[in-house]
Structure 1
Amino acid sequence: MAADADHGGTVNGGPPQDDAALGTDDAKRLSEARERIRQQLGKIIVGQDDVIEEILIGLFSRGHVLLEGVPGLAKTLMISTLAQTLDLSFSRIQFTPDLMPADVTGTEIIEEDRNSGHRELRFMKGPLFANVVLADEINRTPPKTQASLLEAMQERQVTVGRTRHPLDNPFFVLATQNPIEQEGTYPLPEAQQDRFMFKIFVEYPSFDEEFEVARRTTGMNDQDVQPVMAAEEIIRLQDLVRRVPVSDHVIRYALSLVRQTRVGSDGVPDFVDELVGWGAGPRAVQFLILGGKARALLQGRFHVQIEDIQALAKPVLRHRMVVNFAAESEGIGSDEVIDRIIDATPTTEDALSRDARFQKIFAS
């Protein structure tokens, strides 16, 4: 039997096709789809280009995304519009202090057959059973309910009683949290934040963007969003991301960035020991490389560059490393430390291999 085109080999009995050739064609199609997605989102959403780009990278990497921003920046509207654009089912869960795990995952109920009178347990699916799930204000619900969502993110299934219920595929969680209201909230522990591939800051719009928002939202805006991509194609492209080649040098570069966040390790810069409480774990390296692969595809390339890793360093690392009191007292955040680590890391393979500090990092 001829191999499927998605996995290389022969196509329709023809000659073998190289993964790179197939991948280049797919990368071109994904890059074109990215532009169509942006065009459709632009009908509703003004600006936020970097946020949309990073959300798409998270989706095609099979990761999940934590969005942080003040109220009124269209986070919910952006996510629901994206689900329409990708023709995916969408569910929004408003997290509140009284929300229970069963309100998120679903619950078993006793149902009686009217004809036979026989009673049996039936599972009623919760809002978690959708392709795109918005966990709105996740830090407003107690840890027990937070954990029910994070378990589903990791395992992509829900266990009720003794029965496991697989979640829909693709499955993509976007959680939001408000950084300015901390009273009555339950901040996500760092270990649970690590489950999210990216932490994305949603910033205020520029003057021109806010002007356009005011103009659109106070007038008649009957723009309809058209689907650009179906679930089956998204799953195929998620598989394709795993096949994008990455050189050993790029992997070593990603490792260099992550390992330099680990306080007290050999070769770590002095400013990290002075400013960082603790650093990122191995999952950061995995997400840097996977995100680099997805970013390359979205830009029409079938290979990962150093620039891909650098572009994703902040959303991958900012919630996996914690600055200490000394940094906070000087107004230094994790993003500034990441910038300094990037500046201190050579980008060429020869420079990395010759640098005595990085020889210690690779040997430790």
Structure 2
Amino acid sequence: MSDAAAPVPVPADRRKGRGALTNQTNRYERIAREAAHDGWDIPEDLPPLRTEVTDETPRTVITRNASPDISFDRSINPYRGCEHGCIYCFARPTHAYLGLSPGLDFETRLIARPDAPDVLERELRKPSYRPATIAIGTNTDAYQPIERDRGIMRAILEVLEAYNHPVAIATKGTLIERDADILGRMGRKGLARVGLSVTTLDAKTARAMEPRVPSPARRLKAMRTLTEAGCDVRVMVSPIIPALTDHEVEAILKAAAAHGAIAASSILLRLPQEVAGLFSDWLTEQFPDRANRILNRVCELHGGKLYDAEWGKRFTGQGHWARLMTHRFAIAARRNGLASQLPPLRTDLFALPPRAGDQLSLF
């Protein structure tokens, strides 16, 4: 053990299909740990990293925020950690609160909240509750692979539909097509909207950045499935990575519009806390020829730093390149008929469904 041990990459054969190279110690730990050879010349083939899931029983599931540059004030996260493994994910540092690494732990040691639907229903029934759009998928993806077996997200949607409660979902997972029936019914009432993230149209680049996310072509197909079911879809070009994916913005918007998207939004690359080191290491391995160029451009966007968390700047960046990208995006969105703003989802339909034993209203 060492007080200042540099993160050591996990052998490539053990992290196949994962995004991070290391399991670097989180920022709250005083001591870093790294693997070391024990001195014995005995071959030891360690197994590939497998996904481990632990259940958590939450007291509440609706998380509130008062950030001035976020458009929603409440959200739900059915899972902590995300098996998609996107190397740029800004949510990685949240694993530090659990005493885990934002690196490979974030992708392999997941927390599921199977009681979330029941807890949500209790919260919605509180006399003090006032409806407003609940955002889902803003931290970790509710449609990551383990949702196929756990079904927590679908159960949450069933609760929201029963209460006619508005919901906005952000995802990269095409498993959302499974819930097109619910989302279509809610969408036609003005109660549901989906944002599908497409960062690149290049399957090879996507596989490197987002190792367990469905291909860009599959995500575009999911847009069509949802829109045909009756649910409006926004394409989210997030994040835009300078010198790596920024040249694709116009093509992504054109493809999304052709698959039924009616709106578009974007966020520039964010590298908070441990994400900066994880992303830098990944760039050096995957794109050594342009790693320095990409990181230098990112620093230009954030006043000479890899990240600036100041409200109003963290999503858009600053400087000439940021202004140019904003202008390019706006032109391409208008050209493809993609709105930047959509009308708010309805809250006036919210009502508590009757339960067994409840006295029925006479009117």
Which TM-score band applies after superposition, normalised by the shorter structure?
under 0.3
Q: TM-score, normalised to structure 1's length?
A: 0.28
Q: TM-score, normalised to structure 2's length?
A: 0.28
Structure ranking higher on relative contact order (CA contacts 8 Å, 6+ apart): 1
